[in-house]
């Protein structure tokens, strides 16, 4: 592929950008080959089926991609968050937001708390098989009556001899149907507010009922409503400390939001490249549509949006990688990229004309998929609330 003028850091002409090193760029090449050869060919069918096969996880595990950031002793590759960041960026090339979401939920939000807060026994029973692609994971926090207001969850865990009895329901859970286990936020006291939230690792078995919810985009993923009916969870499945689960949620959110920002920038880049090529080939009134000033300006604006989003996201990623406080930067990166990606997809759709509205080009799917961005992982409005707080407002 040729370099894209005006977008020096475009992956097609990728220069090495800190914090990425030559090793990350080598990994990028391998992942890209995997995505193009193993995932992209199935994506259209999986979107139509509204389900991608579970063996995607075993295939990813076979090449080590489910454990890039985890230590070798747990079956991982001994890398770090940056290796996962490369995977997240490249997954956008599969052309299915739902597929990326299912994989992302497993590696990006459901297994990290087990690695960070889990006991050795929990790591052996859940993290090791998750890295091996033998068990699929989901993170279950949101409820029918509590989304943005995480502290308002009501799923209860009542202490009994040897464990907990869980009752309640969870809403919009990615991988919620196929998951073998659910990293679940529960209330362990009747205390209101942030206190009294704990995490339990719940096997998807007796007393757990999941049903798939139909949605606007992310068609290949299973988003579920889950109910817990007197589910017994043994003591050894308590993740982290009792009543300290809110801390776990907040710690997890930073990586989830970074992952979403990385994914959005990568999606914007892919849509930009596809649309630029289209605009250079499609002619109207005797010239390529790219030659109309209005189209040129659209590309200028989109390129600027992508560069801005990427710069902010990589800045937040660098801070996160260094272990520095980066709540403000991560929040800004998510806020700056999610609505922008949806708007950019819409602009690309417009440049495609009628073709953009057709399924064949994948632009309408991208637009539907990207609409989730300003909602999932904390809405745009909540991002602004967090930023206001970081400014003392
Ligand atoms: C496809 C999909 C997949 C998801 N996957 C998961 C998952 O795997 N695990 C999981 O736990 N959750 C998941 N979610 C849930 C997601 O995180 C929530 O949808 C999101 O946090 C918003 O919560 P809500 O839908 O309850 O909206 P609400 O909290 O009810 O918000 C409704 C509206 O009110 C606004 N609002 C709320 N509070 C304020 C405020 N203080 N100030 C200003 N505006 C406010 C919101 O911004 C929003 O516009 C998923 C959601 C979707 C759609």
CA 220 from centre of chain? 14
pLDDT of 14 reads: 60
Q: How far apart are CA 365 and CA 114, in angstroms?
A: 33
Residue percentage of the chain with pLDDT more than 70:
96
Average of pLDDT values for 41-45?
A: 98
pLDDT of 195 reads: 87
User: Are the C-beta atoms of 42 and 96 separated by less than 8 Å?
Assistant: no
Ligand 1 centroid, distance to 49 Cα (angstroms): 26
Ligand 1, atom 37, residue with closest C-alpha: 148
Ligand 1 pocket, mutate which of 147, 210, 369 (most atoms under 8 A from CB): 147
pLDDT at position 23 over 70: yes
pLDDT of 7 reads: 44
Q: For 53-83, give one letter per residue: b (16+ CB within 10 A) or e.
A: eeebbeebbeebbbbbbbeeebbbbebebbb
Index of the ligand 1 atom closest to the CA of residue 176: 8
The confidence band for 61, taking pLDDT boundaries of 50, 70 and 90, is: very high
Tell me the average pLDDT of the chain: 95
User: Is residue 65 in contact with ligand 1, taking CB distance under 6 Å?
Assistant: no
Residues 6+ apart with CB under 8 A from 384: 335
Ligand 1 centroid, distance to 381 Cα (angstroms): 10
329-361, pLDDT tens digit by residue?
999 999 999 999 999 999 999 999 999 999 999
370-380, pLDDT tens digit by residue?
999 999 999 99
Burial class (CB in 10 A: 0-12, 13-18, 19+), 22: exposed
Index of the ligand 1 atom closest to the CA of residue 141: 11
Domains contained in the chain, CATH given: 11-131 (1.10.540.10), 137-244 (2.40.110.10), 247-390 (1.20.140.10)
Q: Is residue 25 annotated as a catalytic residue, yes or no?
A: no
pLDDT at position 11 over 60: no
283-327, pLDDT tens digit by residue?
999 999 999 999 999 999 999 999 999 999 999 999 999 999 999
Ligand 1, atom 2, residue with closest C-alpha: 172
Q: In 3D, which of 308, 352, 355, 353 has the Cα closest to residue 332?
A: 308
Ligand 1, atom 31, residue with closest C-alpha: 148
Q: Write down the residue that tokens 């996962």 correspond to.
A: 84
Ligand 1 pocket, mutate which of 142, 149, 155, 225 (most atoms under 8 A from CB): 142
Ligand 1 centroid, distance to 62 Cα (angstroms): 34
pLDDT at position 13 over 60: no
Ligand 1 centroid, distance to 95 Cα (angstroms): 24
pLDDT of 19 reads: 87
235-277, pLDDT tens digit by residue?
999 999 999 999 999 989 999 999 999 999 999 999 999 999 9
Index of the ligand 1 atom closest to the CA of residue 218: 1
Residues 6+ apart with CB under 8 A from 145: 152, 154
Residues 6+ apart with CB under 8 A from 177: 210, 211, 212, 222, 224
Index of the ligand 1 atom closest to the CA of residue 148: 29
Ligand 1, atom 48, residue with closest C-alpha: 379
168-202, pLDDT tens digit by residue?
999 999 999 999 999 999 999 877 778 899 999 99
pLDDT of 191 reads: 73
């Amino acid at each position: 592929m040729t370099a894209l003028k005006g977008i020096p850091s475009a992956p097609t002409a990728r220069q090495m950008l800190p914090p990425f090193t030559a090793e990350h760029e080598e990994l990028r090449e391998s992942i890209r080959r995997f995505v193009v050869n193993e995932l992209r060919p199935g994506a259209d069918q999986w979107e139509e089926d509204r389900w991608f096969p579970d063996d995607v996880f075993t295939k990813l595990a076979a090449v080590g991609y489910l454990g890039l950031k985890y230590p070798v002793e747990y079956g991982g590759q001994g890398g770090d968050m940056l290796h996962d960041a490369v995977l997240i960026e490249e997954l956008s090339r599969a052309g299915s937001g739902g597929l990326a979401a299912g994989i992302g939920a497993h590696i990006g939000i459901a297994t990290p708390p087990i690695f960070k807060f889990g006991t050795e026994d929990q790591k052996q029973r859940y993290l090791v098989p998750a890295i091996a692609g033998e068990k699929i994971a989901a993170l279950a926090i949101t409820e029918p009556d509590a989304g943005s207001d995480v502290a308002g969850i009501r799923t209860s865990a009542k202490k009994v001899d040897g464990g907990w009895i869980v009752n309640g329901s969870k809403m919009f859970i990615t991988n919620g149907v196929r998951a073998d286990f659910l990293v679940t936020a529960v209330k362990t006291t009747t205390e209101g507010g942030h206190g009294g939230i704990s995490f339990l690792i719940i096997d998807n078995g007796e007393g757990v009922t999941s049903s798939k919810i139909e949605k606007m985009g992310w068609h290949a993923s299973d988003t579920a409503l889950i109910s817990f009916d007197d589910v017994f969870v043994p003591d050894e499945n308590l993740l982290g400390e009792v009543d300290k689960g809110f801390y776990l949620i907040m710690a997890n959110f930073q990586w989830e939001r970074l992952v979403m920002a990385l994914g959005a920038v990568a999606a914007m880049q892919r849509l930009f490249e596809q649309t630029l090529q289209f605009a250079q080939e499609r002619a109207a009134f005797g010239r390529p549509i790219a030659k109309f000033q209005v189209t040129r300006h659209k590309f200028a604006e989109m390129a600027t949006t992508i560069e801005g989003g990427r710069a902010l996201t990589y800045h937040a990623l660098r801070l996160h990688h260094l272990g520095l406080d980066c709540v403000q930067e991560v929040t800004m990166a998510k806020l700056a990229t999610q609505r922008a990606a949806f708007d950019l997809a819409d602009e690309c759709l417009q440049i495609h004309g009628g073709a953009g509205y057709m399924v064949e080009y994948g632009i309408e799917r991208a637009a539907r998929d990207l609409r989730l961005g300003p909602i999932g992982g904390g809405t745009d409005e909540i991002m602004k609330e967090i930023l206001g707080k970081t400014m003392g407002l």
